[in-house]
């Protein structure tokens, strides 16, 4: 027949009881259209014979599994990562059964292969190859899969021991935490406002993610937690009840999902005085569901892949530049969490409170893994180990007197023997409030052990 200035030859044919249509067309006339029909007919017959041969398992394993995967598994929109994993799995299966006919695969052959695999490979690899082979043999032997009579042997290889806590980069175990002065220097550098009009790399350029890094350091937050903070997570209760940050979620940048914090550690953290002004400015003029630290103005929401969140790359580049300009040793983003925790321990905060605020599972993680010594040696500790116990106790008493009376006498600190202390009536009220001044009571009790006592 002639259609659209082409000659078309088509018919319905039968092969082994199956009906199929064959079409051939050409613009050069009837003869060429019939030749095209014959070529298509031969291709269809060859394809049906190859499929029947595969169904009868009279084909090589390497050819059959490749054809099966292309025909049945690549048509469901699989991700590139999944296709790469499947291709690698098929490659290893072909190395084992490549030239074997599918009909020669039996349960004994497969079981020997699985046992050998379990002795050498991990459970993950054994599972992947088992599943791939099982799906293929379900297709090759419908209703009579030889793997139905096999057992998946557990791997005898030791599982890899993963770290409980991981930072954004490898961390040396001997790294020192920033001291309070070093943290203040870094915060002062990071607080420089970002100026998009200044020259790239210049000192007045500022930092686009500086505020987020300061909060990350002083509030010892994980990276995923600080980038997911929203206005509704900051609770302002006033000086009497305290101000808090609620940590309820974290953002997984690799998988682009929002989930619970690590270990499900939902918690509230007191707002440190270094972060109060930053957080108030970050909340100003925003809705409760807005991000505290967005990456910038979103001009085209359709092109935003992380919904305007700060990404690890920008945080890292800002931090590296700030450390260099402040003349400090380079710390990673996760090191800032160590620095904040170490600072609280140095200030004398109860370890149990630090553990709770940090979201750790145990005190061992807080004190053994996260607490780091600073470069500043504690003079009181040195005095204790060098036999100058009385001097250390006198220093503690002088500090306590200074806290109570607004500053102690310069000559009274560190002096052995009787100490004369005069308290005002208002200071007596402070002493009687034992619950709010328990640390001062402990210091005074230690000082009372001085030879000569207190008058």
Residues 308 and 248 both lie in one domain: yes
Task: Compute mean pLDDT per 10 residues along the chain, 455 residues long, and list them.
Answer: 69 83 87 90 80 68 86 74 89 90 88 90 89 88 86 71 39 72 93 80 82 93 93 86 90 88 90 92 91 74 74 91 91 91 89 90 81 60 50 50 43 40 41 44 47 39
Residues 73 and 189 both lie in one domain: no
166 occurs within a structural domain: no
Residues 110 and 22 both lie in one domain: no
165 occurs within a structural domain: no
Residues 69 and 205 both lie in one domain: no
pLDDT of residue 450: 41
pLDDT of residue 185: 94
Residues 366 and 388 both lie in one domain: no
168 occurs within a structural domain: no
Q: How many CB atoms lie within 10 A of CB 89?
A: 18
Residues 389 and 362 both lie in one domain: no
Q: How many domains does the chain have?
A: 4
- Hey, what's the torsion of the CAs at 257, 263, 269, 275, to 10 degrees? -50
- Give the domain-ending residue among 370, 402, 437: 370
**Radius of gyration for the chain, computed over Cα atoms and rounded to the nearest angstrom:** 36
Q: At 125, which CATH number?
A: 1.10.150
Helix (H, G, I), strand (E, B) or coil at 300: coil
Tokens of 404: 């109570």
* Distance in angstroms (rounded) separating the CA atoms of residues 41 and 96: 36
Residues 221 and 360 both lie in one domain: yes
Helix (H, G, I), strand (E, B) or coil at 297: coil
Residues 295 and 212 both lie in one domain: yes
379 occurs within a structural domain: no
The pLDDT tens digits of the residues spanning 103-139 come to: 888 899 999 999 999 888 888 889 999 999 999 888 8
> Contact, 112 vs 147, CB < 8 A?
no
Q: 17: domain range?
A: 2-40
pLDDT of residue 158: 54
420 occurs within a structural domain: yes
pLDDT of residue 133: 92
Buried b (16+ CB within 10 A) or exposed e, 238-256: eeeeebbbebbbbbebeee
* Distance in angstroms (rounded) separating the CA atoms of residues 282 and 256: 24
* Distance in angstroms (rounded) separating the CA atoms of residues 283 and 291: 9
Phi, psi of 185 (to 5 degrees): -65, -45
- Give the domain-ending residue among 149, 172, 197: 149
Alpha-carbon 97 to chain mean position: 40
Residues 427 and 359 both lie in one domain: no
The residues, any chain, with a CB within 8 Å of residue 266's CB and separated by 6 or more, are 246, 247, 248, 260
Q: How many CB atoms lie within 10 A of CB 8?
A: 16
CA distances from 147 to 86, 137, 141 (A): 19, 8, 10
> Contact, 444 vs 403, CB < 8 A?
no
406 occurs within a structural domain: yes
> Contact, 211 vs 278, CB < 8 A?
yes
- The strand pairing partners of 251, in sequence order, are 258
End-to-end CA distance of the chain: 123
The pLDDT tens digits of the residues spanning 392-425 come to: 455 554 554 444 344 444 443 333 344 444 444 3
48 occurs within a structural domain: no
The residues, any chain, with a CB within 8 Å of residue 131's CB and separated by 6 or more, are none
The C-alpha angle with vertex 339 and arms to 191 and 272, in degrees rounded to 5, equals 60
Residues 227 and 362 both lie in one domain: yes
Q: How many CB atoms lie within 10 A of CB 274?
A: 17
- Give the domain-ending residue among 340, 370, 400: 370
* Distance in angstroms (rounded) separating the CA atoms of residues 85 and 63: 19
Residues 362 and 390 both lie in one domain: no
Residues 366 and 403 both lie in one domain: no
Can you point out the beta strands (E) in 128-237? 234-235
């Amino acid at each position: 027949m002639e259609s659209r200035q082409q000659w078309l030859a088509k018919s319905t044919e039968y092969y082994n009881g199956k009906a199929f249509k064959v079409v051939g067309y050409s613009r050069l006339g009837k003869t060429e259209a019939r030749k095209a029909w014959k070529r298509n007919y031969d291709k269809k017959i060859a394809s049906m014979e190859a499929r029947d041969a595969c169904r009868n398992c009279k084909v090589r394993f390497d050819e059959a599994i490749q054809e099966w995967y292309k025909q049945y598994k690549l048509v469901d929109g699989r991700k590139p990562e999944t296709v790469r994993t499947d291709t690698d799995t098929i490659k290893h299966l072909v190395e084992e059964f490549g030239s074997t006919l599918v009909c020669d695969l039996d349960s004994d052959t497969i079981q020997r292969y699985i046992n050998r695999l379990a002795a050498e490979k991990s459970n993950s690899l054994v599972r992947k190859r088992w599943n791939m082979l099982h799906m293929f043999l379900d297709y090759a032997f419908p209703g009579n899969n030889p793997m139905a009579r096999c057992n998946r042997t557990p791997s005898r290889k030791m599982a890899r021991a993963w770290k409980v806590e991981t930072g954004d980069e490898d961390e040396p175990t001997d790294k020192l935490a920033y001291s309070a002065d070093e943290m203040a220097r870094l915060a002062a550098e990071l607080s420089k406002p970002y100026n998009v009009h200044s020259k790239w790399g210049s000192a007045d350029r500022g930092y686009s993610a500086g505020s987020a890094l300061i909060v990350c350091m002083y509030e010892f937050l994980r990276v995923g937690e600080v980038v997911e903070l929203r206005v509704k997570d900051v609770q302002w209760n006033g000086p009497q009840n305290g101000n808090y940050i609620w940590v309820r979620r974290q953002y997984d940048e690799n998988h682009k999902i929002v989930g619970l914090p690590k270990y499900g550690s939902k918690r509230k953290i007191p707002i440190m005085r270094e972060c109060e002004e930053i957080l108030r400015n970050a909340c100003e003029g925003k809705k409760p569901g807005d991000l505290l630290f967005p990456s910038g103005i979103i001009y085209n929401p359709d092109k935003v892949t992380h919904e305007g969140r700060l990404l690890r790359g920008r945080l890292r580049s800002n931090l590296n530049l700030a450390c260099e300009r402040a003349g400090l040793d380079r710390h990673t983003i996760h090191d800032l969490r160590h620095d904040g925790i170490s600072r609280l321990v140095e200030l004398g905060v109860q370890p149990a409170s630090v553990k709770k605020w940090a979201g750790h599972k145990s005190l061992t993680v807080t004190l053994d893994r996260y607490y780091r010594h600073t470069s500043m040696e504690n003079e009181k500790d040195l005095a204790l180990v060098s036999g100058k116990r009385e001097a250390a106790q006198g220093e503690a008493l002088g500090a306590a007197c200074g806290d109570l009376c607004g500053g102690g006498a310069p000559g009274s600190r560190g002096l052995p023997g009787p100490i004369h202390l005069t308290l005002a009536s208002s200071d007596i009220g402070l002493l009687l409030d034992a619950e709010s001044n328990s640390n001062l009571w402990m210091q005074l009790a230690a000082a009372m052990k001085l030879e000569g006592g207190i008058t």
